[in-house]
């Protein structure tokens, strides 16, 4: 049950690490009626590492907000609704340093989280981060700047536009069989390319050999953001909650 409809925060940093994923492998991960969104013949998967400050309900002042480090493993998806194809992401799993996210996520606001330990080393434009949740772990050492290289997108602006259009994130609820959605918005959406020193993800490295290949990394910094459990106008017709089914479309599970 969603109690808090909107959350605001200050995004200190968001690393978006993306992989080219074999479409058949991605289809085995994404629950119907969602399906992988293909770009240049590949599915696009990856993970985000987000540093957030001033996390609070929309009407609460930022000075009373909380702080956390978070990760989300994701797969770009699409689905059909009202004769149109919608796009967003499916979140495989979320991890956080914050117990409020672990205890309240999926209960008072969509988004089930597991607790994890993080190490953060931020120096100027370089970010070296790790996350360890026992059975899941990742690491990223990247530096903002450098030439843009990607098999998915010809320019960093094209990548930025893609990520912005996929702002609706679906994930399984606490019951494991319901999909819940959150829409992410930023007052100023700016991404920067980053050079990769090293990247590791136990999730993508557990896939069949060669089925997930690192493509690019972009960084967002110093932005106010909103996470909204109320449905945005451009997604009317898609329920806020939907049942995972083997076939069909997203539907409201409430009779």
SS3 of residue 137 by DSSP = strand
For residues 77-97, give the mean pLDDT.
Answer: 93
- Which of the four pLDDT bands, split at 50, 70 and 90, describes residue 64? confident
- Which of the four pLDDT bands, split at 50, 70 and 90, describes residue 250? very low
Interior angle at CA 186, CA 184 and CA 189, nearest 5:
120
For residues 140-169, give the mean pLDDT.
Answer: 96
Q: What is the pTM of this model?
A: 0.87
pLDDT at 104: 73
Strand ranges for the chain from DSSP E: 6-21, 35-36, 38-39, 42-57, 66-81, 84-96, 114-115, 117-123, 126-132, 137-144, 168-172, 178-186, 192-201, 212-228, 241-243
Q: Say how far apart CA 214 and CA 17 lie, in whole Å.
A: 8
- Tally of CB atoms within 10 A around 145: 12
Q: Say how far apart CA 15 and CA 172 lie, in whole Å.
A: 23
Interior angle at CA 168, CA 140 and CA 179, nearest 5:
100
Structure-token pair, residue 59: 């009407």
Contact 158, 148 (CB under 8 A): no
CA dihedral 97, 89, 92, 71 (to 10 degrees): -20
Query: How would you class 209 by CB atoms within 10 Å of its CB: exposed for 0-12, middle for 13-18, buried for 19 or more?
Result: exposed
Rama region for 176: left / alpha / beta (φ>0; ψ in -120 to 50; rest): left
| CATH number, span 6-243 | 2.40.400.10
Q: What is the pLDDT of residues 238-249, one digit of tens each?
A: 444 555 543 333
DSSP tag of 202: H
- Which of the four pLDDT bands, split at 50, 70 and 90, describes residue 231? very low
Q: What is the pLDDT of residues 159-217, one digit of tens each?
A: 999 999 998 999 988 888 788 888 888 878 899 999 999 999 999 999 999 999 999 99
């Amino acid at each position: 049950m969603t109690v808090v409809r909107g959350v605001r925060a200050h995004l200190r940093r968001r690393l978006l690490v993306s992989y080219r994923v074999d479409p058949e492998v991605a289809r085995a991960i994404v629950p119907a009626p969602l399906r992988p969104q293909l770009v240049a013949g590949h599915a696009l998967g990856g993970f985000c590492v987000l540093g957030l400050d001033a996390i609070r309900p929309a009407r609460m002042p930022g000075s009373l907000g909380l702080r956390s480090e978070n990760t989300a493993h994701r797969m770009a998806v699409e689905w059909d609704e009202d004769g149109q194809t919608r796009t967003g992401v499916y979140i495989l799993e979320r991890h956080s340093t914050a117990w409020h996210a672990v205890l309240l996520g999926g209960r008072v606001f969509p988004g089930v989280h597991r607790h994890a330990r993080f190490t953060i080393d931020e120096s100027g434009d370089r970010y070296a981060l790790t996350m360890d949740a026992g059975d899941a772990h990742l690491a990223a050492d990247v530096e903002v700047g450098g030439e843009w290289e990607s098999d998915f997108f010809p320019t960093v602006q094209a990548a930025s536009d893609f990520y912005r259009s996929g702002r609706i994130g679906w994930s399984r609820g606490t019951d494991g069989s319901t999909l819940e959605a959150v829409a992410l918005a930023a007052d100023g959406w700016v991404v920067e390319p980053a050079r990769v020193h090293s990247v590791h993800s136990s999730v993508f490295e557990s896939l069949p050999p060669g089925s997930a290949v690192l493509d690019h990394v972009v960084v967002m910094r110093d932005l106010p953001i909103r996470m909204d459990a109320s449905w945005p106008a451009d997604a009317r017709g898609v329920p806020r909650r939907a049942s995972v089914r083997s076939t069909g479309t997203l539907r409201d599970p409430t009779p």
